[in-house]
Structure 1
């Protein structure tokens, strides 16, 4: 066993695990009682860790030993987008970039046995960010509503389920960080969205997903976010994704017709109807020119006075949507004896807590219970 581990050790997987856990080489060295230079040698491939050293590393990172001998998952071309990009540190962004690789590895595993729903999206804009107009963003949001058969005059319900039916892979991560809500990446033409475990409200989660869909449809020309300054990221790229989310969740005409008053009390009623935050609706009202700058300022001051920046009315009662596609696929392959649980863990050697988050399933339970879902899936022969 020791010889096999040494022969097949993949140094890139050690880097992946370390970065995913938010550790520097120095921190991993201190926690594992191995020199920093040796950790560097392991990650560069200069040295293969002996059994005892590898076990020390595993005890710190808590990844299965097979992870360090498995093939690496590469994100390939295209940018990885981060919700709340301007506030998140590079360390946190790198952590989530590695976690999105976990979701892609899980997707690749399931793809061997099950047909995923086809990706159903409008044509993606292929322009430099400075060339994209607000009218184009609005049109693209309207196109997505039509493509996904949402009524142009009604709120969007079951957004995650609808996205999964249309080929979007959405998973939850066990990473918690208040500066970073979500991360997305286009892999082989399929959008992946990973949600951080931030206990966000139902309306914030929905806006996060709409925001990431905006990146997928608007920003195919962005190759690497590191090429942009924080100001451009916030004022251009993030603004465009936010604008898309606003148009997508709150169609102009329908929202205007529903806005019978601009009092906070009425916005509270609208929140339960549109399933969008009060703050986002105030911003939308301003965008439509239905209130002036002074009125917008007054409403935002009232929101702050009520301490609604972090928690608004009804955040504790509106049901939070959860992804279910991976969960259904896991149930399908286990219940149909396509693979055993042991084979599953062997072929997909990821941390148990990360797998449980992505699968929405307790892996200690021998008979995971999964509710019926809408995406049509078929086992491959």
Structure 2
């Protein structure tokens, strides 16, 4: 049976309205409505056209179970009000694919298990210095000291957080996270279209949500959401740049030029360094405002000066590499079992299959006698 609910999800995944879907299929809008009608069957020919048009295997549509889309208030967005419904629905459909990938991989391997850190999380919103204290305590629990974090994305993976890439390059959706009750794992999604420094901050921001906010299931309004977002930003700043470590290593004179050099220590943005320096009293209110205006005028708020290297997923490419060593491994069989295209799999898993193919094509050195 061709699952009509899954067809609707697939249409949302590609961000298509009924007229847009009809245009891609080369048919009328009324025909699309017939395809979506649960009472009508879809011919094998139409099924093949739909699969090709939406770039999804037939197995995606013939799976009996219908995954339930997440409720919007289950997901930590920066600002729901600023996100077009089309983008939000598409992202939430991609989340379902990520959950399916995780289900498949956990059947094959014993992945790191998430253990909620033993932190004194509070039910109240906006408590002074709460986020910074949580970041400091988590660093202590994870034995990170006051040193810079080399690869925060890999660190999150190691702690049982499932990290995926968001395929859509939508500036209103920097990153997002949610807790999957079925698997007991937090999921984190980050974008790679911003600078490496901003992506590291996004990862730390979502980690803040995971450890501080996912225990609380109450429905959030826009005011609550703003408070939680501020707390996640404060957490990220302290987690990436612990105050004691910042004080111990900061240059005596913090000009913009010296900040550009100093930001390489923590691999954070120039804007984040300026914010931290002002918060700790290293620069005055006037210098902070002046620096902020100069950062914006030079375009450094978008194009990071002397950008650092990008943090990479370690777990996903390694798992796919291990899968590929098994005698019965078949890439297409895996994709069909998950119900995903190779393109979508690569988009979500940081090009893990592409990297696998590159490794296979590397020439082997031989000694010629």
TM-score, normalised with respect to structure 1: 0.84
- Report if aligned partners of 1:20, 1:96 keep a CA contact under 8 Å in 2: yes
Cα pair distance change 1:343/1:85, threshold 3 Å:
same
1:59 matched to 2:52: yes
What's the offset of the Cα at 1:245? Answer: 0.5
Equivalence for 2:129: 135
Cα pair distance change 1:196/1:12, threshold 3 Å:
farther
1:263 matched to 2:258: no
CA distance in 1, matches of 2:360, 2:216: 41
Cα pair distance change 1:75/1:27, threshold 3 Å:
closer
What's the offset of the Cα at 1:355? Answer: 0.9
CA distance in 2, matches of 1:85, 1:298: 31
Residue 243 (structure 2) aligned to one of 241, 252, 258: 252
Cα pair distance change 1:124/1:88, threshold 3 Å:
farther
- Report if aligned partners of 2:101, 2:338 keep a CA contact under 8 Å in 1: yes
- Report if aligned partners of 2:15, 2:86 keep a CA contact under 8 Å in 1: yes
The more displaced of 241-250 and 140-149 is 140-149
What's the offset of the Cα at 1:147? Answer: 2.6
Residue 302 (structure 2) aligned to one of 307, 310, 314: 310
Equivalence for 1:3: none
Cα pair distance change 1:329/1:44, threshold 3 Å:
farther
1:282 matched to 2:302: no
What's the offset of the Cα at 1:283? Answer: 1.4
1:192 matched to 2:187: yes
What's the offset of the Cα at 1:249? Answer: 0.8
Aligned-CA RMSD value: 2.7
1:17-45 deviation line (CA, Å, top 9, x unaligned):
11111111232123223443553454462
The more displaced of 246-255 and 336-345 is 336-345
Q: Any idea what SS the aligned residue of 1:134 has?
A: coil
The more displaced of 276-285 and 253-262 is 253-262
- Report if aligned partners of 1:11, 1:44 keep a CA contact under 8 Å in 2: yes
1:119 matched to 2:110: no
- Report if aligned partners of 2:166, 2:175 keep a CA contact under 8 Å in 1: no
Residue 358 (structure 1) aligned to one of 337, 343, 348: 348
Cα pair distance change 1:268/1:86, threshold 3 Å:
farther
- Report if aligned partners of 1:80, 1:224 keep a CA contact under 8 Å in 2: no
Equivalence for 1:172: 165
CA distance in 2, matches of 1:74, 1:274: 40
TM-score, normalised with respect to structure 2: 0.86
The more displaced of 90-99 and 353-362 is 353-362
Equivalence for 1:201: 195
CA distance in 2, matches of 1:15, 1:356: 23
The more displaced of 240-249 and 59-68 is 59-68
CA distance in 1, matches of 2:34, 2:296: 52
Q: Any idea what SS the aligned residue of 1:185 has?
A: strand
